[in-house]
Amino acid sequence: MIYLGLQNSEKRDIIHAYCQENTVQKTFIFSPEKFQLSYEDTEVVEWKNLIRYIYFYRLLREIDKDTLVIVNECLRTQNRNDLTYNCMRHFLNQTDHQIIFQYLPIIESLKDFFILFDFDTKSRWKKETRTELLPHAKIEVSPVHVSFRSIRVPTPDTLKARYQKEKQKLFDNIGLKDPHTIPRNLYLLAGKEKLNYLSSESQTDLFVSDNGGQNTWYIGRNNRFKIEKFQTFREKDFPHERYTVFEFCHNFIDFCDFISLSHQYEFDVLAADLKVEQWYIQRYSEWAQEIDNVYSILQQ
């Protein structure tokens, strides 16, 4: 069974109900460290350890038809043939008792969901991505609808001129480098303008705070400006009520983790009036729409 969009308390309720209704002698939870999920009398095996010989061969010996395997937030790469995924397939093939938990259904596209589909169907259709196969898996969806609201940050003509020069320089020297190097670098140029915006009266436009942004926390790639209320995307805990996006991370997996850990899904985004900023807004808006499209497909 695949469950989407659940928090830890809901996951534990499902595990408890499953164990009450089925003959389960042992339970293992596979989970990345930052998404640790605990349950009574259950061994948790971290994602990074699943490929280690000392764990792999022991789990092959211990997992049998009376074992429940819980796959928790293990959609970590878009490579369907990833080594860790293949190890998990071996474990899942030894039991009919499996529960797959994932907060968001994809990293970037519908194809990613078929990795979860493999886990629930013993990889019978490992190379397939046909939506007509989806009924072969048991899927329960609690949709998480992600949305973004741009907060315009004006920039001076001097920065716009510098932006054009830097863009041309990056294009001239791209060679065989990853083309995404260009937006990654251009996106950093408006950082100081965003910093100035945070101390201006105009930040009262932010809907995340009722007192002019004084309690607003920010999320970004790194805290190079030493902002007091700031976290980066790769932290393990996001305890504050709401975050404003100071700048997007480039890789969707990092934003997926942030949403899954913070359980926030509506975002203000500081967006300078440079084309690369609008490119990121559009990119993430299309990503949010893709998530909604996947939910529509799964709920048909």
Written as tens digits, the pLDDT of the chain (300 aa) is 999 999 999 999 999 999 999 999 999 999 999 998 999 999 999 999 999 999 999 999 999 999 999 999 999 999 999 999 999 999 999 999 999 999 999 999 999 999 999 999 999 999 899 999 999 999 999 999 999 999 999 999 999 999 999 999 999 998 878 999 999 999 999 999 999 999 874 455 554 444 345 578 999 999 999 999 999 999 999 999 899 999 999 999 999 999 999 999 999 999 999 999 999 999 999 999 999 999 999 998
Q: Domains in the chain, start-ordered, CATH in brackets?
A: 2-141 (3.40.50.10810), 147-298 (no CATH)
Residue 210 is predicted with a pLDDT of: 42
Q: What's the CA angle centered on 54, arms 49 and 56, to 5 degrees? A: 65
pTM reported for the whole predicted model: 0.93
Distance CA 155, CA 146 (A): 28
Q: Collect all residues with Cβ–Cβ distance below 8 Å to 216 and sequence separation of at least 6.
A: 203, 206, 208, 209, 229, 242, 243, 244
Strands 26-31 vs 43-46: parallel, antiparallel or unpaired: parallel
Q: What is the pLDDT of residue 213?
A: 52
pLDDT (0 to 100) of residue 177: 84
41: left (phi over 0), alpha (psi -120 to 50) or beta: left
User: Which residues in 28-58 are b (16+ Cβ under 10 Å) and which e?
Assistant: bbbbbeebebebeeeebbbbebbeeeeeeee
CB-based contact 46:71 (threshold 8 Å): no
What tens digit of pLDDT does each residue of 226-251 get? Answer: 999 999 999 999 999 899 999 999 99
What stretches of 199-272 show up as alpha helix (H) in DSSP?
252-262
Q: Which of 280, 266, 89, 95 is nearest to 185 (CA)?
A: 280
